[in-house]
Amino acid sequence: MGGVTSLARRDRPPAPRRPAGPFGSSIRLFSVAGIDIAVHASWILIAILVTWSLATGVFPATVPGASTATYWLLGAVTALLFFASVLAHELAHSLVARSRGVEVSSITLFLFGGVSNLTAEARAPGEEFQIAIVGPLTSFAIALLAFLVALAVRGNTAAQAIAGYLAFINAALGVFNLVPGFPLDGGRVLRSVLWRTLHDLSRATRIATTIGQLVAWAMIASGVWLVLTGDIIGGVWTAAIGWFLETAAGSSLQHAVLETRLRRLRVSDVLRQDPSGVTADTAVDDLIDRWVLPGARRAVAVVEDGRIAGLVTLADIARVPPDRRSWTRVWSIMTPGERLVTVAPGTTLQAAIAALGSGEYEQVPVVDGGRFVGLLTRADVLRELQIRDALGLDEKGQIGQTGAAEAPRP
């Protein structure tokens, strides 16, 4: 399976962490056009299973008379080419997304295929459609190319068998991903059409997600039926894919709801204004005694004439040995103001989260007209969303229909 796109770990709501993506720790292999390519541990299992099925089932039937070692070699080569096809499918999503201004943190190959980890949703229905449809089109193009190769090498049974299998599996991959179930490519194509028609991303997401969950439950039921009729491996595999789709659909709905809130809320809705800070010549032990401990602060702004001159964090302080803190000055350990990423009070929370994520920061200075007004932290954002969730408030602070069941809890 391939063609699933994901918002990179938006449930914190965090910055994207490369190359883990939504499947936990992964192994980075290389990068393409600045996009990290990684494999999850589960990919090793499916690579072995695909190689085994090809070596023991497909190639003995299509390439008769070869040795066992040859069958396993053909199986391994074909499995690698298949996963290269999945990677091409995901790269197509990622490159089109990037060309439309949607950044991509990484691509992860895992048990069910591949996933492109996007850092944000598409901003318009047309962008969503283009990003989604290019994956299946790439798979169909690879299938056509493999079919033409199979015709060109008719005299070589091994090469023909490899090309024929790649033509079939890529065509199947393209067709499967066009199933109109979110978050498959077909579900995203459906959402883009609904979005264009209804002019409401949240409603379009709910409809596409519901259809995706129905498709998932149908696959789970089909898997159970296959197990009961004797096809244990096929049944378990079908049910597992269905379970994954059902889980991914629910997670995608939560991500979409959160993304909508982050896009409509502003930094000023969340920020606790506090323009105070220390001077650059403050001693580190004074910083600890008068600012860090009394206020339970993890970061303190360095302010000069009302402007942000730098930022000093717990990590910066911890690097100073205790016996040197009485004479070490803040200016020597702070991050200078010119190196800081800042946001304005009118910045959307979506953009502010991206700023936090640009360096995996825990806080970002807020500047209004050149003057420092406070620090926005991840905790501030999470607290605001939790309060609105608990009170059943929409992003405008009014009673809405998006209650606790729809807003993800960090």
Residues acting as catalytic residues = 90
One-letter amino acid of 66: A
Start-end of H helices in 229-299: 232-264, 267-270, 284-287, 293-295
Q: Which residue has the tokens 């047309």?
A: 126
Report the alpha-carbon distance of residue 68 to residue 346 in Å, rounded.
67
Q: Which residues contact 407 (CB under 8 A, 6 or more apart)?
A: 254, 257, 258, 261, 385, 388, 389
Strand order in the sheet with 35-40: 4-7, 113-118, 104-110, 35-40, 26-32
Residue among 13, 25, 77, 5 at smallest CA distance from 47:
77
Reduced to 3 states (helix: H, G, I; strand: E, B; else coil), residue 383 is helix
Strand partners, 28: 38
Cβ neighbours around 3 below 10 Å, total = 31
> Using an 8 Å Cβ cutoff, are 367 and 264 in contact?
no
Beta bridge partners of residue 308, listed in sequence order: 303
> Nearest Cα to 181, choosing from 208, 153, 200, 159?
208
Distance CA 193, CA 213 (A): 18
With contact defined as beta carbons under 8 Å apart, do 7 and 259 qualify?
yes
What amino acid is encoded at 92 in this protein? A
Residue with tokens 């690097």: 319
**182 with 188: CB under 8 angstroms?**
yes
213-216-218 Cα angle (round to 5): 110
Residue 321 C-alpha from the chain's centroid: 39
Q: 117 Cβ partners below 8 Å, 6+ apart? A: 5, 6, 7, 8, 16, 21, 22, 104, 105, 106, 107, 108
